[in-house]
Amino acid sequence: MQPVAATKTTLVTGSYPPAVCGVGDYTTCLARHLVRAVVWTRRAPGLAADACPVVEAFDEAGVRALCARIARERPRLLHLQYEAALYAPSIAGRLPAACRRAGVPLVTTFHSLDGPKAWGHSRRLALLPLLLGSDAVVVCAGRPFRALSRIPALAGKTHLIPVGSTVPATPRRGTAAAEAPGVPLRMAYFGFVWPGRGLETAVRALAAAHAAASPTGATLTLIGEVRDPAHAAELIHLARTLGVEGRVAFTGSLSAPEVSHHLADADVALLPYPTGVSTGRTTLMAALDHGLPVVTTSAPGGGLDARFRDGENMLLAPAGDADAFARETARAATDAGLRARLSAGASRLAREFSWERIAEEIARVYYGVGRGR
């Protein structure tokens, strides 16, 4: 599909490949699907050729330099990819003011609603100037969308646009190979390995699936960077206790093609999000894009996206209920027909979150902002 034509846009990101960062990957995919989009970022060794380094770093001096550049070049539209850790806190106040002075419409995608660490408990307050000063606000998941929509000044200009997969899919392993006798069921988790990701739940689910899928059993590959070795050690210990030690493997940090290779090789994805599945999860989108049957969690307070259907395109267990998650995993492990249905459902669902659609929705936001001026 052709890239989406939009107003000539300047995407601003504090991180861009080769840096390993979800915001950089998101910006890369978005820029590739928008016509006439340029990327402004900070200078870095080995920076991808399609990005334009405009500052040394997004520190105070870098933010001032960015504002000066906006005044000088007056881009048609500026789209900031915001994540607090990537910029000096002053960007929240300076950038909207600079855009206003230069007559440049500002769209901000909030990749999280956490403000700068330095602001401590009032860190979300630091975002207010950016939220109020942006002509349009984009969030990727239902929960922040509902939170911002309750604020009268933001309700009309906040848009919910999901993320897509940032791991280009490679063809999946053939069913014949997957179902060959003696081959264990291969399960995969994708994401950082650190506390708070529900990985204990995944290991418990492995033990349940391993017992249920006798005699070949099951394996679990944890795909992604180990951010906390202590947590990895705890998981190894838990696996030993549950009798599945040799069946858990860690890949460590991998490139996107390597991640894709592992996902393509898996039979089931385990994504036990402690706060529930949402349209803002790039790891979910990667699993769906690879046509993987997904076992995941529904958020405690409800608000599940209507496109996520239990038993049709994923299996859902209540977040925080490890036993229910293990039961659903065992069900997927023992029922090849269910896995085939979920796989087909996942592939259909993935098309809803293609980058072409995302770029189209973003372009509509740009158009609305331009028309409002």
Partner 1 sequence: MSVLVLPSHRPPLDPGPRADFLLLAERLGGRVLYPARIGAAGSAEARVGADVRQALAAARARDTALYVSLSERVGLPLALLLRRRRGGDRAAPHVLVAHRLTSRAKRFLHSKTGVFGDFARIVVLCHSQARAAIEEYGVPPPRVVRLWDAVDTAWWSAADSLPRAPAAPPIVVSVGREGRDFVTLLAALRTLPEVRGVLVTGSPWSRAGSADLPPLPAGVETRSGLPASELRALYVRASVAVVPLRPDCAHAAGSNALLEAMAAGLPVVATRTPGLADYLWDGTNCRAVCAAGSPGALADVVRDTLRDGRALGARAAGLARVGFSLERYVRDLERVAREALAER
Stretch that binds partner 1, among 87-95, 150-158, 284-292, 299-307 (CB under 8 A): 87-95
Give the H/E segment covering residue 341.
Answer: helix 336-352
Least Å distance, CB 243 to partner 1, is: 14
Q: Is 189 in the site for partner 1 (CB under 8 A)?
A: no
Q: How many CA atoms lie within 13 A of 334 on its CB side?
A: 15
- Give the integer Cα–Cα distance in Å for 127 and 119: 10
Stretch that binds partner 1, among 248-256, 280-288, 317-325, 333-341 (CB under 8 A): 248-256
- Give the integer Cα–Cα distance in Å for 348 and 346: 5
* Both tokens assigned to 371: 């028309």
Q: Is 188 in the site for partner 1 (CB under 8 A)?
A: no
- Give the integer Cα–Cα distance in Å for 45 and 29: 21
Task: Name residues contacting partner 1, limited to 103-162 (CB under 8 A).
Answer: 117-118, 120
Stretch that binds partner 1, among 43-51, 201-209, 341-349, 350-358 (CB under 8 A): 43-51
Q: Is 68 in the site for partner 1 (CB under 8 A)?
A: no
Out of 155, 180, 230, 340, the residue judged to bind partner 1 by CB under 8 A: 230
Q: Is 256 in the site for partner 1 (CB under 8 A)?
A: no
Q: What is the DSSP string of 232-286?
A: HHHHHHHHHHTT-GGGEEEEES--HHHHHHHHHT-SEEEE--TT---TT-HHHHH
Q: Which is nearer to partner 1, 8 or 119 (CB)?
A: 119
How many residues touch partner 1 (CB under 8 A)?
36
Out of 3, 22, 48, 60, the residue judged to bind partner 1 by CB under 8 A: 60
Out of 146, 217, 250, 370, the residue judged to bind partner 1 by CB under 8 A: 250
The count of residues in the chain is 373
Nearest CA to 267 among 348, 333, 365?
Answer: 333
Q: Is 302 in the site for partner 1 (CB under 8 A)?
A: no
* Order of strands across the sheet that contains 268-271: 248-252, 218-223, 185-190, 268-271, 294-298, 315-318
- Give the integer Cα–Cα distance in Å for 126 and 176: 55
- Give the integer Cα–Cα distance in Å for 256 and 30: 16
Q: Is 237 in the site for partner 1 (CB under 8 A)?
A: yes
Q: Is 58 in the site for partner 1 (CB under 8 A)?
A: yes
Least Å distance, CB 245 to partner 1, is: 8
Chain residues in the site for partner 1 (CB under 8 A): 20, 43-45, 56-61, 85-89, 117-118, 120, 193, 225-230, 232-234, 236-237, 240, 245, 250-253
